[in-house]
Amino acid sequence: MPEGPEIRRAADKLEAAVGGEPLTEAWFAFEELKPFEAMLVGKTIDRIETRGKAMLTHFSNGLTLYSHNQLYGVWRVADVGKVAETNRVLRVRLQTAKKAILLYSASDIEILDQGQLEQQPFLQRVGPDVLDETLTVDLVKARLLSPKFRRRQFSGLLLDQAFLAGLGNYLRVEILWEAELAPQHRAEDLSEEQIERLATALLAIPRLSYQTRGQGDENKHHGAVFSFRVFHRAGEPCERCGGIIERTNLSSRPFYWCPRCQK
């Protein structure tokens, strides 16, 4: 399932295709969104923001399209007049003179003004986005040690979007390996040095993934440039200590780690 870096790169691609160009057509599959079609024609997409796995498409008239891909949703870019060959159901089409961006299969879609956006339930629930450049290591450390999160085991905490938005399973695995921590640890049990190392990895790993993934050989998991240290490497030697990487299930997801160096 795509995680924060993949969603952000998808948003970059959509922005590059239609950002700043007047919309010649807006189409929504859901009847409750039909009144907004005429309101968006002639307007531009100013920017596309991501918060974890949610995407916020901000229009020049102050409205925002909120969409969450959930399990099956996917955005595509197409040339105007081209018909996509797909079995997916089209939900949204936003079109300029040359390009169209198309949202398929998603069901969590809303058009909101600024006040409604601030009250949107998912956005109220999620924590800071790991790709937000204003999020610092010190802020992450404070979040780790806050009463809300300090007693949570990392196996579950690093999948909880209320902690940090945009984390997911492969990031959970790679972050804990980088921090040399086992998944059953909790922040309240760690030393200052361990907290510093974990907070640094919580930002560095997702940002490295965003910057490098999608290049190279796409058949190698998520791309050859971002190299997995432990994810999908069960039975192979750990490149840090030479121990054998193991696989189990934690929080209903496959988890990979090196028992020798992740104490």
Lowest mean pLDDT among 23-27, 39-43, 52-56, 144-148: 52-56
d(CA 20, CA 78): 17
d(CA 49, CA 72): 20
Q: Catalytic site residues?
A: 2-3, 53, 253
Answer yes or no: is pLDDT of 107 > 90: no
Q: H/E element holding 8?
A: helix 4-18
The arithmetic mean of pLDDT across residues 181-192, rounded, is 97
- Give the angle subtended at the CA of 24 by the CAs of 56 and 67, to the nearest 5°: 20
> pTM score, two decimals?
0.87
Per CATH, 4-125 and 137-257 having the same topology is answered no
d(CA 99, CA 59): 16
* Amino acid letter, 169: N
Confidence tier at 212 by pLDDT (50, 70, 90): confident
The arithmetic mean of pLDDT across residues 200-221, rounded, is 74
Confidence tier at 84 by pLDDT (50, 70, 90): confident
* Amino acid letter, 31: E
Q: Classify domain 4-125 at the CATH topology level.
A: N-terminal domain of MutM-like DNA repair proteins (3.20.190)
- The domain spans of the chain are 4-125, 137-257
* Amino acid letter, 111: I
The arithmetic mean of pLDDT across residues 32-47, rounded, is 98
Answer yes or no: is pLDDT of 46 > 60: yes
Answer yes or no: is pLDDT of 254 > 60: yes
d(CA 34, CA 28): 6
Residue 226's pLDDT is what? 64
d(CA 16, CA 85): 23
Token pair in block for residue 208: 């490295």
Task: Note the CATH architecture for domain 137-257.
Answer: Orthogonal Bundle (1.10)
Q: Where are the beta strands (DSSP E) in 1-158?
A: 25-28, 45-51, 54-59, 64-68, 74-79, 90-95, 99-104, 108-112
Answer yes or no: is pLDDT of 124 > 50: yes
Answer yes or no: is pLDDT of 231 > 90: yes
Q: Kindly state the percentage of the chain with pLDDT values over 70.
A: 94
Count CB atoms within 10 A of the CB of residue 50: 22
Answer yes or no: is pLDDT of 225 > 50: no
Question: In this structure, what are the phi and psi dihedrals at residue 71, rounded to the nearest 5 degrees?
Answer: -85, -35
CA 130 to chain centre: 9
Average pLDDT, the chain: 92
